[in-house]
Amino acid sequence: MLAFTVAALTRTVTQAALSALVFFVLALFYSSAVALVPNYVASAFARSSGQAFKGWLVLAAALFIVPWQYAQRRIIQSAGVLLCAGVLIVLMDVATPYGTLLEKQFPLSNSAHPAPLALAVLPPPPRVSNPSGPFPQPLADTAVLKIPLRVSGIAQNSVIATKAMLVFVQGPAGFQWRSHWIPQWLFLWPDSTWSAVQFNLKRSLYDQIKSSPVRLQISIALTKHIESSPREIVLPEGSFPVFGDGYCWPGSSYFPSLTCRTAVHQPGFIASALVTGGSCSEDPKPSATPSELGHQFSPTGGHGFLNPVQTFVINVQPPNVTWQPPLPHLCPGTTLHLATPVAAGQSRLIIEADQIKLEDYALDSRTGQVAYDMRAIATLH
């Protein structure tokens, strides 16, 4: 639609190409600038009528400009309509109170509407001298904090997906700091006992209070999904039918995974399995234990743009894998639990912790790795 609109406003292919290039540069500038809008990240999951209106506005402007331009040849007026539509979209993005929308669509849990799980801040495990793990590198002017959480109370046959969080820190001498809504994607299961959230704090603010006892409050927006149409599949040696017209087969030898293909649409799914530590070819096969239960959650599927065949992976990776031999595998004969996810409510949960020191939860400023052993968290709850 955009290509037809640009073509209607230009006389040559060169002009159309230049117009498309200008549009591309403006789109990059727009995406960078709108990211500075407070709580704009909440637009990804805070539904509003304005989101739909923007789509209809672009479509209406294009449908109006093309026939009008060809009928009247009014280039300046047509370009003005397109420009006004673009300006209106930018103003809507800037003015929309995304934080308020999120808090309305994710109501705070209370006694009448209890939260679907319980979360609590855990004390930091003992620090390690040589931290290791796949953690992000820090920024020079930013302190990265990783807060471990105790998880409990999740109902069977359900999964909790967190969306975003808002952090409030209160320290001595009237110190207060409040973040905007921060993306926080976690999937929590009935057998989950701990997890961790992460946020950044300006280095100058962190240095002021890192060794002082502070009060930490974290508000987390989350969605509960329940299982629909559950089924059990005993994995065969080769490929097997699943998802109606689709099929799966054993995936990478380094992960407990299946590679799957379906027609046109990739379905959402909840998958769980007890994975085996070691090679599937070992005889006898190592026995799986509940600690090796792996999961994957894919809330919604997607459609192919040009390719009508969708290829995707089901990876039931255990939560506490150490990436040291024996690596987990999905072996033939393993029972795969598969279900369709159904959203069953949205809510917000507030977690509070008093008299904690942020320096106990900071990533190492030299290596970018957490200064405590994440695996030791399992001993704290």
Q: Does residue 219 sit within a domain?
A: yes
pLDDT surpassing 90 at residue 277: no
pLDDT surpassing 50 at residue 152: yes
> Averaged over 9-26, what is the pLDDT?
65
At 294 the pLDDT is 87
At 215 the pLDDT is 96
Distance CA 241, CA 115 (A): 37
pLDDT surpassing 70 at residue 63: no
At 61 the pLDDT is 63
Q: Does residue 111 sit within a domain?
A: no
Instruction: State which of 251-255, 328-332, 377-381 shows the largest mean pLDDT.
Output: 328-332
Ramachandran bin of 288, using left for φ above 0, alpha for ψ from -120 to 50, beta for the remaining angles: beta
The region of weakest confidence among 80-84, 167-171, 204-208, 366-370 is: 366-370
The terminus-to-terminus CA distance of the chain in angstroms comes to 56
Q: How would residue 111 be classed by pLDDT, with cut points 50, 70 and 90?
A: confident
Statement to judge: residues 31 and 93 lie in one domain: yes
At 176 the pLDDT is 94
| Structure-model confidence comparison of residues 131 and 113, the more confident one | 113
pLDDT surpassing 90 at residue 64: no
Statement to judge: residues 41 and 126 lie in one domain: no
pLDDT surpassing 60 at residue 33: yes
At 212 the pLDDT is 94
pLDDT surpassing 50 at residue 364: yes
| Structure-model confidence comparison of residues 251 and 65, the more confident one | 251
Q: Does residue 338 sit within a domain?
A: no
Statement to judge: residues 212 and 354 lie in one domain: yes
Distance CA 379, CA 143 (A): 26
Q: Does residue 109 sit within a domain?
A: no
pLDDT surpassing 60 at residue 285: no
Nearest in space to 23 (alpha carbons), one of 82, 66, 95, 89: 82
Statement to judge: residues 150 and 245 lie in one domain: no
| Structure-model confidence comparison of residues 234 and 23, the more confident one | 234
Domain's final residue, options 104, 138, 159: 104
Q: If you search the block for the tokens 């080769």, which residue do you land on?
A: 238
pLDDT surpassing 80 at residue 316: yes
The percent of residues above 90 in pLDDT, for the chain, comes to: 37
At 284 the pLDDT is 46
> Averaged over 158-174, what is the pLDDT?
94
Q: How would residue 44 be classed by pLDDT, with cut points 50, 70 and 90?
A: low
Mean pLDDT of the chain: 77
Q: Does residue 38 sit within a domain?
A: yes
pLDDT surpassing 60 at residue 133: no
The residues that bridge with 108 in the sheet, in sequence order, are: 348
Tally Cβ neighbours within 10 Å of residue 371: 20
Statement to judge: residues 127 and 33 lie in one domain: no
The region of weakest confidence among 14-28, 96-110, 117-131 is: 14-28
pLDDT surpassing 70 at residue 275: yes
Q: How would residue 356 be classed by pLDDT, with cut points 50, 70 and 90?
A: very high
Statement to judge: residues 123 and 218 lie in one domain: yes
At 300 the pLDDT is 76
Domain's final residue, options 104, 136, 169: 104
Domain's final residue, options 48, 71, 104: 104
Inter-residue contact 328 to 292 (CB < 8 Å): yes
Q: How would residue 140 be classed by pLDDT, with cut points 50, 70 and 90?
A: low
> Averaged over 132-155, what is the pLDDT?
77
Token couple for 37: 């809008």
At 274 the pLDDT is 82
Statement to judge: residues 218 and 364 lie in one domain: yes
Q: Domain residues for 273?
A: 236-333
Distance CA 340, CA 327 (A): 28
Statement to judge: residues 267 and 354 lie in one domain: no
Statement to judge: residues 250 and 322 lie in one domain: yes
Inter-residue contact 342 to 229 (CB < 8 Å): no
DSSP letters spanning 241-308: EETTTEEEEE--TTTTEEEEEEESBPPPEEEEEEPEES-TT-SSPPPP-GGGEEEEEE----B-SS-S
What CA dihedral angle connects 269, 274, 277 and 283, to 10 degrees?
A: -120
- Type of residue at 202: K
The region of weakest confidence among 97-101, 117-121, 126-130, 224-228 is: 126-130
Nearest in space to 298 (alpha carbons), one of 265, 319, 269, 256: 269
pLDDT in tens, 212-236: 999 999 999 999 999 999 999 999 9
pLDDT in tens, 253-273: 567 889 999 988 888 999 999
The region of weakest confidence among 4-13, 70-79, 288-297, 361-370 is: 4-13
Domain total in the chain: 3
